[in-house]
């Protein structure tokens, strides 16, 4: 069996959803499809959550109505009257769920309320797609991912309970996939008391990997709007190169450093079961794409470039001139962990600790408040973090011109630089 994951760009409008049908028709069976919310739906739902957070309930409800109408219009362009009448009660139930989440917004636990709102996008798009596939006589069973993926209560970045998830996946998916396509949602799951959770942004890839691992899939295919895995983001760099074959270890390094092509959690369950991952182009399915698999020997990779913008470099210095050794490091790591602040690059000296983090002002204020009693904190803003694997001096020179380097770390295979424009 295979797992196909289609992202939001692949179903950005009804025409593009229709264009996925030949891909599905030509797939080997059994087939599980993991679907994202279409287009910018997740961003729209985030705007609703933020309006609720700001006590702008009427604005939140206005945005929800706009999103509801957009999905109704989307469905009406695809479905016959009879099929629309069948699916509308399911869509309406989800619109009602969104309305409840707005009315019950918990200002003391934003992450919880965020997940109750944001999870609706994948559920809506997958209901429409399942109805459309069934209309085309492609027998499809829709399954709510919240009945499959069991997690803890770390809202917005939930940790999977693998034992319970395996039980639920086998119970629900195995019977259905004998006779039909199984269609479910990426990015979402549920706690033991059925609260909705999300697995982190771009978590749909991770959902596909979870299902593939549990069901021992022969392969996972992630369908994107690029011809395969590129050595750099084409939106940021002009001369990119496609990589046709790459190892799990190389891709997980890319993900760790911030590349957005593959979700960082996706690789482990696939590597553990030796399941290849294909990155394919839904705009041109005949293209070869990229295959990610176990260690690939004698492959000469091009320079692999990852650029993270909107970074802040924090320097934390002990006020009493005590050394930054195990005791202080343990304390500092604990504070960053408790505040759920990811450190993108770290370095320490005798009495100072330097961390490069995403520029999120609320997190920066929180870390300063937590540390300022014992530490003096300075910051460099408007920075970006450049990572180059398989670098040479010419590519470093090219990518760092017209910048000043605030921090550099270098190994034989990887260089990382925190830069500011001159």
Cβ–Cβ under 8 Å, residues 324 and 371: no
Q: Is 168 left (phi over 0), alpha (psi -120 to 50) or beta?
A: alpha
Which segments within 133-255 are labelled E, that is strand? 140-142, 181-185, 188-190, 196-198, 219-224, 229-230, 242-243, 245-247
String of b and e for 361-380 (b: at least 16 CB within 10 Å)? eebbebbeebbeeebeeeeb
| Amino acid 299: pLDDT | 83
CA–centroid distance for 367 within its chain: 25
Q: How confident is the model at residue 422 (pLDDT cuts 50, 70, 90)?
A: confident
C-beta neighbour count of 109 within 10 angstroms: 12
- Ordered by start, the domain boundaries in the chain are 2-224, 304-421
pLDDT tens sequence across 195-222:
999 998 678 999 999 999 999 999 999 9
Query: What's the pLDDT score for residue 254?
Result: 87
With contact defined as beta carbons under 8 Å apart, do 307 and 364 qualify? no
Count of alpha carbons within 13 angstroms of residue 233, beta-carbon side:
15
Q: What is the β-pairing status of strands 188-190 and 343-348?
A: unpaired
* C-alpha distances out from residue 405 to 115, 171, 383, 384, Å: 38, 54, 9, 10
Average pLDDT over residues 81-105: 97
Contacts within 8 Å (CB) and 24+ apart, 368-372: 370/335, 370/338, 370/339, 371/316, 371/332, 371/335
Q: Which whole number is the average pLDDT over 29-50?
A: 96
- For 257-278, b/e burial (b = at least 16 CB within 10 A) is bbbebbbbbbbebbbeeebbbb
| 338 has a pLDDT exceeding 70 | yes
Separate counts of helices (H) and strands (E) for the chain: 14, 18
> Residue 339 — pLDDT band, cuts 50, 70, 90?
very high
The gap from C-alpha 371 to its chain's centroid, in whole angstroms, comes to 30
Give the residue, 165 or 227, on which the prediction is more confident.
165
| Of 20-34, 231-245, 373-387, 398-412, the least confident | 231-245
Q: What CATH number matches the domain at 304-421, 1.20.120.160, 3.30.70.270, 3.40.190.10, 3.30.2130.10?
A: 3.30.2130.10
> Hunting for tokens 């050394």 — which residue is that?
323
> What is the three-class DSSP state of 239?
coil
* Cβ pair 82, 135 in contact under 8 A: no
Question: How large is the average pLDDT for residues 339-365?
Answer: 94
Q: Please determine, for residue 78, whether its predicted confidence score (pLDDT) is greater than 80.
A: yes
Q: What is the structure's pLDDT at 265?
A: 87
pLDDT of residue 263 exceeding 80: no
Q: Please give the class, per CATH, of domain 2-224.
A: alpha beta
The string of pLDDT tens digits covering residues 312-322 is 999 999 999 99
**Is 2-224's fold the same as 304-421's?**
no
Residue 10's beta-bridge partner residues?
none
User: Which range is least confidently modeled, 199-208, 281-290, 343-352, 397-406?
Assistant: 199-208
Nearest to 10 by CA among 287, 321, 320, 224: 224
pLDDT at 267 over 80: yes
Would you say residue 361 has pLDDT above 90? yes
Q: Please report which residue ranges of 257-322 form alpha helices under DSSP H.
A: 267-272
- On whether the CB atoms of residues 161 and 119 are closer than 8 A, the answer is no
- Give the pLDDT mean for 28-46: 96
Q: State mean pLDDT over 83-89.
A: 97
3-state SS class at 415: strand
| Mean of the per-residue pLDDT values of the chain | 95
Give per-residue pLDDT as tens, 367-394: 999 999 999 999 999 999 999 999 999 9
Rounded Cα–Cα distance for residues 67 and 374 (Å):
48
For the stretch 104-159, pLDDT in tens is 999 999 999 999 999 999 999 999 999 999 999 999 999 999 999 999 999 999 99
């Amino acid at each position: 069996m295979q797992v196909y994951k289609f992202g939001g760009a692949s179903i950005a409008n009804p025409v593009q959803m229709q264009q996925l049908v030949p891909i599905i028709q030509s797939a080997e069976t059994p087939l599980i499809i993991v679907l994202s919310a279409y287009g910018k739906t997740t961003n729209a739902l985030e705007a609703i959550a933020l309006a609720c957070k700001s006590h702008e309930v009427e604005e939140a409800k206005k945005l929800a109505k706009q999103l509801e109408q957009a999905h109704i219009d989307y469905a009406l362009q695809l479905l016959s009257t009879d099929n629309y009448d069948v699916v509308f009660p399911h869509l309406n139930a989800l619109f009602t769920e969104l309305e409840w989440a707005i009315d019950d917004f918990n200002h003391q636990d934003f992450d919880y309320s965020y997940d109750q709102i944001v999870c609706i996008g994948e559920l809506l798009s997958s209901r429409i797609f399942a109805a459309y596939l069934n209309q085309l006589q492609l027998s499809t069973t829709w399954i709510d991912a919240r009945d499959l993926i069991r997690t803890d209560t770390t809202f917005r970045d939930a940790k999977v309970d693998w034992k319970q998830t395996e039980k639920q996946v086998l119970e629900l998916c195995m019977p259905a996939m004998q006779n039909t396509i199984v269609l479910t949602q990426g990015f979402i799951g549920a706690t033991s008391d059925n609260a909705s959770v999300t697995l982190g942004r771009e978590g749909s890839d991770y959902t596909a990997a979870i299902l593939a691992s549990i069901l021992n899939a022969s392969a996972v295919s992630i369908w994107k709007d690029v011809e395969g895995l590129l050595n750099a983001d084409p939106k940021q760099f002009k001369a990119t190169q496609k990589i046709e074959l790459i190892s799990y270890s190389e891709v997980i390094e890319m993900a760790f450093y911030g590349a957005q092509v593959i979700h960082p959690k996706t690789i482990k369950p696939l590597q553990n079961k030796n399941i290849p991952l294909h990155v394919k182009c839904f705009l041109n399915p005949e293209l070869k794409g990229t295959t990610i698999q176990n260690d690939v020997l004698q492959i000469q990779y091009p320079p692999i470039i990852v650029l993270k913008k909107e970074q802040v470099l924090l320097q934390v210095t002990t006020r009493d001139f005590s050394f930054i050794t195990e005791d202080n490091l343990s304390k500092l790591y604990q504070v960053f962990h408790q505040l759920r602040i990811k450190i993108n690059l770290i370095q320490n000296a005798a009495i100072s600790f330097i961390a490069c983090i995403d520029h999120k002002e609320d997190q920066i204020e929180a870390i300063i408040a937590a540390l300022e009693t014992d530490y003096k904190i300075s910051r460099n803003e408007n920075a970006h973090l450049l990572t180059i694997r398989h670098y040479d001096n010419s590519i470093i020179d090219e990518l760092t011109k017209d910048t000043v380097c605030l921090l550099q770390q270098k190994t034989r295979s990887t260089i990382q630089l925190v830069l500011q424009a001159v």
